Amino acid sequence: MIEVKVPTVGESITEVQINQWLKSEGDWVAQDEDLVELETEKASVQIPAPGSGYLRNIRKQEEEFAEVGELIAEIEPAEAPAGGPTEKQPQAPAPSQPQDQDGDEPSKTPVAANRSPPDSEAPPVPLQKVMPAAQRLLDELGLVASAVTATGPGGRLLKEDVLTHVRRSTQPAAPAPLTHPPAMGASLLTTGPSDRGEEVKPMSMIRRTIAARLVQAQQTAALLTTFNEVNMQPVMDLRNKYRDTFQQKHGVKLGFMSFFAKAAVEGLRRFPAVNAELRGNSLVYRDYYDIGIAIGGGKGLVVPVLRNVEKLGFAAIERSIAEYAQAASANQLQPSDLEGGTFTISNGGIYGSLLSTPIVNPPQSGILGLHSIQERPIAENGQVVIRPMMYLALTYDHRVIDGREAVTFLRTIKEVVEDPARLFLEV
């Protein structure tokens, strides 16, 4: 038997969580074919099969934890079956009707909702791969797979897809009585009517890491937040003027984040302490600017890092952010995408936040919080006018950054954004 063990997936990582098995027990798998998706404290990684054969003895189910080097499954060496690599080796006489049991291969449901007998002359209906956990949830909620959009690898329908569909549905189907046990690693406790259930699930690796780092920042740093507001009208006018031309030339939309990233570089140049790091009794000042962009991913908040932003143009920044956002939604960020970073920008405005105090991402010393744009009356040249305004927040480690530096840094962001020509003139 070929042993499938948890490999080393990153420095200092000793434990992982089984996100999902991409093959079911009994399936034939080719060597180097993606076999299982693991979630680490930094990102999700897909592990290839160490050999070809039939998958046997899965020891860790979805949402369970395993240590690096631990045996999680075995592969029985075998050649590809005559019926093709996707054929499953029979274990028992096939039942007359397909059944959904724990450990069975993903059920295959026609995408079309019409379940009438197929016409011999009609083309075959494409099949949709439904993972066991998703199928159980579909059965409990009385839903059909064809109504849910699949986002998993290879078009697989995941449990998360069903939950997302239910949240987005304005009239979700009434839950049917439980006919299957809850997914491995979770328990469903009913304390009354069917609409008053409680689901207990272990925290994901990423969520555990987020919680630990936030508590670490609060306990070890002297955090303080300063605020300002910025008139977004000049940037909005510039963006509206060149938006179509920019997208036609570069193939990506021109957003606000690139303006703030470049403005942050200008502020970090003027005030190096905001870009510094405290190591023991020493301060480390950097002459490069790796800016983390906080993104809400499929498993929680992640902060991929844009390297050397001072050397990037607007198009490169926007393209990198779009690629990171897509990878985060698909849980495909690599640990290297999240490592490092000298400063962070978090945009809570996309969720409607009016004002907040972001928490520094250690060992960094500062984080810039952006918020929603709202039209408000302000005084301009002795007149009261309506302008699209945004509150800015800078949380900083007071051990590294003095109040004067923090306030002036934030004012630099305001000045540059309200007069974006400064970005090109370097003034």
- Contact at 8 Å (CB) between 86 and 28? yes
Catalytic residue among 32, 237, 244, 398: 398
**Which residues lie below 8 Å from residue 289, measured CB to CB, with a gap of 6+?**
264, 265, 268, 269, 275, 308, 309, 310, 342, 343
DSSP string covering 41-103, please? SS-EEEEE-SSSEEEE---S-TT-EEETT-EEEEEEE-PPPTT-TTPBPP-SPPPSS----TT
Q: Give residue 236's region: left, alpha or beta (phi > 0; psi -120 to 50).
A: alpha
In angstroms, the CA 309 to CA 316 distance is 9
Q: Which two structure tokens, joined as six digits, stand for 90?
A: 């029979």
Residue 371 is among the residues annotated as catalytic for this protein? no
Choose the catalytic residue: 165, 180, 402, 419: 402
Q: What are phi and psi of 373, to 5 degrees?
A: -90, 125
Rg (CA), the chain: 26
What is the spatial distance between Cα 231 and Cα 259, in angstroms, rounded to a whole number? 13
Q: Which of 368, 401, 393 is nearest to 259 (CA)?
A: 368
**Contact assessment for residue 102 and residue 23, using Cβ atoms and an 8 Å cutoff:** no
Query: CA 51 from chain center: how many Å?
Result: 30
Q: Rounded to a whole number, what is the distance in angstroms from the first to the last CA of the chain?
A: 67
Write phi, then psi, for 209 (nearest 5 degrees).
-65, -40
- Is 402 an active-site residue? yes
Report, as residue numbers or ranges, the catalytic residues.
398, 402
